[in-house]
């Protein structure tokens, strides 16, 4: 069991620098360039990265806004795209904090939770003594968030300086990154929902472009929910 602040700092640093940081740097570079190419201002790119801190929700914000949807539907869409944070936080907090521990800081710390820090915490926490787990999470998450913010800046300002094919490649990186990250989620329910949602997204986009994503979510999600129930009963 690890019970030393220095060792925990070093462990969190080592875990964060590497795959999580590079992934975030690259994916947020794609996001930054998308914001720039959608003619939206730089503060919005940074606010979305730091404030939403989840690529699916950030892409939903930009895509739905550019599609000219009313603010209400854009916000609803972003909120739905990020619903996964609830189960993530619920499973994460009791592992990080000592039993019965309550702190207002949790409401601030939770903002930095993303799939990377969640997965790293779940993996490492069992090796770390409980009172040092918050330290691990903070060091890890701060490094990740810095990498993501840096990526957003590079993407936003870099895209204009690049040859057109590379700039287009950066924008294309968004859906690809997104697909690969989600394909890595090893659970049948999420796979069913993704596969059901994909064709519906196209159909609804052609039939009802204003509400395409929300309709896809509600109709596709309900279908997938029922389908999964059926498969479970077998």
Partner 1 sequence: MTESSTIALALLTCGAIAGTYIWRGIGVMFAARIKSDGPVFQWVTFVSYAMLGGLIARMVILPIGPLMETPLLFRALAFVIGVGVFFVAGKRVLPAVFIGVASFILLVSYF
Residue span binding partner 1 (CB under 8 A) among the ranges 4-12, 62-70, 126-134, 149-157: 62-70
Q: Residues 172, 188, 207, 231: which binds partner 1 (CB under 8 A)?
A: 172
Q: Is 197 in the site for partner 1 (CB under 8 A)?
A: yes
CB of 2 to partner 1, least distance (A): 24
Task: Return all residues near 120 (Cβ < 8 A) that are at least 6 apart.
Answer: 15, 16, 20, 140
Q: Sketch the per residue contact string, 41 through 60, with partner 1: x for CB under 8 A, - otherwise.
A: x-xx--xx--xxxx-xx-xx
Using CB under 8 A, which of the segments 5-13, 118-126, 147-155, 201-209 binds partner 1?
201-209
Torsion sign, CA atoms 216, 217, 218, 222 = positive
Asked whether position 17 contacts partner 1 by CB under 8 A, the answer is: no
222 counts as binding partner 1 under rule CB under 8 A:
yes
Q: How far is the CB of 213 from partner 1 (least distance, A)?
A: 5
What residues between 119 and 148 interact with partner 1 by CB under 8 A? Answer: none
Among 2, 201, 210, 211, binds partner 1 (CB under 8 A): 201
CA–CA gap between residue 215 and residue 212 (Å, rounded): 5
Q: How far apart are CA 120 and CA 123, in angstroms?
A: 5
Q: What is the rounded CA–CA span in Å between residue 5 and residue 132?
A: 7
Q: Which of residues 64-123 bind partner 1 (CB under 8 A)?
A: 65-67, 71, 74-94, 106-107, 110-111, 113
Asked whether position 35 contacts partner 1 by CB under 8 A, the answer is no
Q: DSSP readout, 40-80?
A: --HHHHHHHHHHH--HHHHHHHHHHHHTT--HHHHHHHHHH
Give the shortest CB-161-to-partner 1 separation in angstroms.
Answer: 15
Give the list of residues 6+ apart from residue 230 with CB closer than 8 angstroms, or none.
none
Q: Answer yes or no: are the C-beta atoms of 142 and 17 closer than 8 Å.
A: no
């Amino acid at each position: 069991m690890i019970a030393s602040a220095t060792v925990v700092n070093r462990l969190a640093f080592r875990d964060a620098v590497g795959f999580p940081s590079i992934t975030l740097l690259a994916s947020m570079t794609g996001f930054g360039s998308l914001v720039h190419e959608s003619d939206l201002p730089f503060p919005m790119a940074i606010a979305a990265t730091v404030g939403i801190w989840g690529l699916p929700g950030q892409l939903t914000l930009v895509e739905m806004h550019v599609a000219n949807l009313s603010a209400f539907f854009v916000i609803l869409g972003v909120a739905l795209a990020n619903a996964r944070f609830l189960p993530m936080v619920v499973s994460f907090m009791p592992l990080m904090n000592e039993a019965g521990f309550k702190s207002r800081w949790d409401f601030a710390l939770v903002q930095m939770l993303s799939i990377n820090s969640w997965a790293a915490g779940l993996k490492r926490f069992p090796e770390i003594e409980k009172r040092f787990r918050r330290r691990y999470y903070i060091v890890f998450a701060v490094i990740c968030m810095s990498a993501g913010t840096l990526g957003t800046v590079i993407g936003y300002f870099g895209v204009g300086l690049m040859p057109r094919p590379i700039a287009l490649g950066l924008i294309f990186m968004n859906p690809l990154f997104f697909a690969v990250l989600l394909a890595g989620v090893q659970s049948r329910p999420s796979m069913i929902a993704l596969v059901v949602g994909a064709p519906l997204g196209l159909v609804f986009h052609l039939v009802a472009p204003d509400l395409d994503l929300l309709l896809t979510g509600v109709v596709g999600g309900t279908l997938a929910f029922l389908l999964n129930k059926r498969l479970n009963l077998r």
